Amino acid sequence: MAEKTLTRMDLADAVHSQVGLSRNESADLVESVLGHVSDALVAGQSVKISSFGTFSVREKAARVGRNPKTGQEVPIHPRRVLTFRPSHLMKDRVAAGNK
């Protein structure tokens, strides 16, 4: 498996080379898009990117957990978690890369 991680600068460089914006404009565009996505998620909205997938926030209820080492019960507080559901096209594309 590849050890490289795609970063914001990698995205900005891709925008720069494919769209032709300056490096600063490309970085600003990437920051703006990521800002809009994160603002929508914080507000509780889902973000659907066609042919990629859907990001959504899920509310998890309070529950009782257990420390596996001691067996002691521990309360787990309610929280919001981010989930991602890839599109079928993305799933197929990733699966094809494993062959």
| Residue pLDDT, tens place only, 26-62 | 999 999 999 999 999 999 999 999 999 999 999 999 9
What pLDDT sits at residue 3? 79
Residues 74 and 82: their CA atoms lie apart, in Å, by: 23
Q: How far is CA 56 from CA 7, 40, 99, in A?
A: 21, 9, 30
The confidence band for 2, taking pLDDT boundaries of 50, 70 and 90, is: low
The predicted model scores a pTM of: 0.78
